């Protein structure tokens, strides 16, 4: 990933998403199991917690909102308790529920997971049935649904179809979206558990998982290939889409463009004890937003994987904030810079960005540090106490001569660099050849810049760079009469005597 990934994630708050799909309610009932029930050989649970969360396409909406996008979520819920709970959860997240159409029948799809001591005991499903129900059942509501599709499609930057096959994304809805996509093309992502129904919709990308991809090929009458590349080719024969993105759980995603010579495998970093409930929703949310922000398919998929990678570290149905994703993208970017960048200053900048992402305060100072003495040590200890990471820039031999005059420095730049780097308060060192450290301050953008001696703000040569970088200036007075010049004078006097 590059700096571009960070820029894409930063654009998410400006993107308008039209999301259509099946709104589900996820419920988690937790309990303590102390013994078996007398009525049968099953655990007797004492309920300790009940938690509700948006599920299905509603979880995609929650993920999009957490990433700070503008979400218009069009779906159908039942006039029931589960529907009211779901609306309440979405409102608490700041998601506008005006596009949720309330149908008297059937009930809101509801997945109840019962856990004992953190372990799943059973999942009980209620409400509309997958693959059976047509929603909405009311003709007037169907008319409103199609009107809303027309309006929301026109006002969106990207369209996400999250089809859990509970009836909202019906064949008439697919046909309407197909007409709109042909008339006004824009990024469209389809995440469906019944992809065979989308054969003619000209989408940007579909995101089946590996079993779903194989099942679709089987429905087309072919034997699904085990090889990812061949499987993607088979899917392109069935679907009218630009890209196939086969999600592969811990193996990442396999991408293939229509008519391309070959596809591309984008791996993901492994996660221990991954919780995969809703991971596909987190992937789809970030993937679609990156496409809307202008990302190409590879970098968008990588951002989607980053988002899913964070989500699976969280328990149960979870979503990821834009700040969390931005940190992950930044960490990946600056780690990559460390691996490839040859320029020392750029490598240090990347290292410090990682330190900053970890919440560390960066302190910077510079000097000649020709003959180290107690004043230097005291100064650097004080500087380090102002923050968490101390960076010291050492004047090169050339710039030291310009500052101190002929005969200086006494020690070579490499010796001075090594001595300062060996001091306990110092975390990072580098050489610089300029007369001032302004360029380094502009590049590293430390939180605090420390100067030793008697200065006013205006007298400091780096004043303009300090102001532009937004760092805080701290002036530390020199201790006693210790200075390199005094040390040199005493050495000379001793030799002459």
Written as one string, the DSSP assignment of 224-291 is: PPSSHHHHHHHHHHH--EEEEEEE-GGG-EEEEETT-S--EEE-----TT---TTHHHHHHHHHHHHH
Residue 22 is given by DSSP the state: -
What is the tens place of the pLDDT at every residue in 139-180? 999 999 999 999 999 999 999 999 999 999 999 999 999 999
Distances from the Cα of 418 to the Cαs of 135, 369, 372, 430, 487, in angstroms? 73, 11, 11, 10, 20
Higher-pLDDT residue of 336, 148: 148
Q: Which of 262, 235, 261 is nearest to 247 (CA)?
A: 235
Greatest extent of the chain over all pairs of C-alpha atoms, in Å:
109
Which residue stretches of 293-396 are H helix? 297-311, 322-340, 344-357, 374-385
Q: Which of 420, 300, 317 is nearest to 365 (CA)?
A: 420
Query: Angle 282-288-291 (CA atoms, 0-180°, nearest 5)?
Result: 140
- Can you give the pTM of this predicted structure? 0.72
- The SS3 of residue 121 is strand
Residues in contact with 172: Cβ distance below 8 Å, sequence separation at least 6, in sequence order: 142, 146
Residue 409 and residue 444 in contact, taking contact as beta carbons nearer than 8 Å: no
Q: For the chain, first and last CA: distance in Å?
A: 65
**Residue for token pair 């328990």:** 315
Distance, in Å, from the CA atom of 320 to the CA atom of 323, rounded to the nearest integer, reads 8
| Mean of the per-residue pLDDT values of the chain | 88
What is the tens place of the pLDDT at every residue in 177-222? 999 999 999 999 999 999 999 999 999 999 999 999 999 999 888 8
φ and ψ of 39, to 5 deg: -75, -20
Both structure tokens of 448: 């605090």
| pLDDT at residue 481 tops 60 | no
Return the bridge partners of 53, or none.
26
Mean pLDDT, range 238-258, rounded to an integer: 93
Both structure tokens of 204: 């940007």
Question: Which pairing describes strands 43-56 and 241-247: parallel, antiparallel, or unpaired?
Answer: unpaired
Indicate the pLDDT class of residue 400, thresholds 50, 70 and 90. Answer: confident
Both structure tokens of 293: 């922000």
Distance, in Å, from the CA atom of 161 to the CA atom of 22, rounded to the nearest integer, reads 9
Q: Which of 275, 277, 308, 279 is nearest to 111 (CA)?
A: 277
- The SS3 of residue 192 is strand
Higher-pLDDT residue of 94, 44: 94
Q: How many of the other CB atoms lie within 10 Å of CB of 48? A: 11
- Is 433 annotated as catalytic? no
| pLDDT at residue 275 tops 80 | no
Distance, in Å, from the CA atom of 92 to the CA atom of 162, rounded to the nearest integer, reads 21
- The SS3 of residue 37 is coil
Distance, in Å, from the CA atom of 101 to the CA atom of 222, rounded to the nearest integer, reads 39
Q: How many of the other CB atoms lie within 10 Å of CB of 66? A: 26
| pLDDT at residue 486 tops 60 | no
Q: Report the phi/psi class of residue 48: left, alpha or beta, with left for phi > 0 and alpha for psi in -120 to 50.
A: alpha
Residue 375 and residue 477 in contact, taking contact as beta carbons nearer than 8 Å: no
Mean pLDDT, range 288-306, rounded to an integer: 95
What is the tens place of the pLDDT at every residue in 34-76? 888 888 888 888 899 999 999 999 999 999 999 999 999 999 9
Distance, in Å, from the CA atom of 180 to the CA atom of 190, rounded to the nearest integer, reads 15
| pLDDT at residue 345 tops 50 | yes
Write out the H or E segment, with its range, that includes residue 474: strand 472-476
Mean pLDDT, range 470-497, rounded to an integer: 64
Return the bridge partners of 364, or none.
391, 449
Indicate the pLDDT class of residue 1, thresholds 50, 70 and 90. Answer: very low
Residue length, the chain? Answer: 497
Question: Exactly one of 281, 306, 370, 447 is catalytic; which is it?
Answer: 281
Distance, in Å, from the CA atom of 32 to the CA atom of 455, rounded to the nearest integer, reads 67
Q: Which of 49, 69, 73 is nearest to 59 (CA)?
A: 73
φ and ψ of 438, to 5 deg: -60, -45
Residue 29 and residue 175 in contact, taking contact as beta carbons nearer than 8 Å: no
């Amino acid at each position: 990933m590059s700096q571009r990934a960070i820029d894409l994630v930063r654009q998410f708050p400006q993107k308008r998403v039209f999301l259509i799909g099946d709104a589900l309610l996820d419920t988690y009932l937790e309990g303590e199991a102390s013994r078996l029930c007398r009525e049968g050989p099953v655990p007797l649970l004492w309920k300790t917690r009940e938690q509700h969360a948006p599920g299905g396409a509603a979880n995609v909406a929650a993920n999009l909102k957490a990433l700070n996008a503008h979400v218009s979520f069009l779906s159908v819920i039942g006039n029931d308790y589960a529907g009211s709970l779901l609306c309440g959860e979405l409102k608490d997240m700041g998601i506008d529920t005006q596009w949720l159409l309330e149908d008297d029948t059937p009930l809101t799809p509801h997945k109840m997971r019962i856990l004992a001591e953190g372990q799943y005991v059973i999942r009980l499903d209620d409400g509309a049935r997958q693959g059976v129900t047509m929603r909405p059942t009311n003709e007037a509501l169907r008319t409103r649904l199609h009107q809303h599709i027309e309006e929301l499609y026109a006002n969106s930057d990207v369209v996400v179809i999250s089809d859990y096959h509970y009836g909202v994304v019906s064949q008439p809805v697919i046909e309407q979206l197909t007409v709109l996509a042909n008339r006004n093309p824009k990024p469209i992502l389809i995440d469906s558990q019944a992809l065979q129904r989308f054969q003619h919709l000209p989408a940007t990308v579909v995101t089946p998982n590996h079993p779903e991809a194989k099942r679709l090929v089987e429905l087309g009458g072919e034997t699904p290939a085990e090889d990812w590349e061949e499987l993607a080719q088979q899917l392109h024969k069935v679907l009218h889409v630009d890209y196939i993105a086969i999600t592969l759980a811990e193996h990442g995603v396999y991408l293939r463009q229509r008519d391309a010579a070959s596809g591309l495998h984008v791996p993901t970093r492994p996660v221990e004890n991954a919780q995969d409930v809703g991971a596909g929703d987190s992937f789809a949310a970030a993937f679609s937003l990156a496409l809307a922000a202008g990302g190409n398919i590879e970098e968008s998929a990588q951002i989607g994987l980053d988002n899913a990678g964070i989500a699976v570290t969280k328990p149960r149905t979870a979503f990821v904030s834009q700040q969390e994703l931005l940190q992950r993208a930044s960490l990946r970017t600056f780690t990559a810079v460390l691996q490839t960048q040859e320029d020392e200053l750029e490598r240090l900048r990347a290292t410090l960005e990682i330190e900053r992402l970890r919440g560390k305060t960066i302190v910077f100072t510079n000097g000649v540090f020709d003959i180290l003495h107690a004043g230097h040590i005291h100064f650097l200890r004080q500087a380090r106490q102002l923050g968490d990471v101390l960076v010291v820039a050492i004047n090169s031999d050339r710039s030291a001569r310009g500052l101190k005059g002929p005969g200086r420095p006494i020690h070579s730049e490499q010796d001075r660099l090594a001595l300062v780097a060996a001091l306990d308060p110092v975390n990072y060192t580098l050489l610089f050849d300029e007369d001032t450290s302004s360029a380094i301050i502009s590049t590293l953008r430390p939180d605090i810049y420390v100067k030793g001696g008697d200065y006013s703000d205006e007298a400091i040569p780096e004043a303009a760079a300090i102001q532009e970088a937004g760092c805080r200036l701290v002036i530390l007075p020199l201790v006693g009469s210790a200075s390199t010049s005094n040390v040199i004078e005493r050495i000379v006097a001793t030799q002459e005597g």
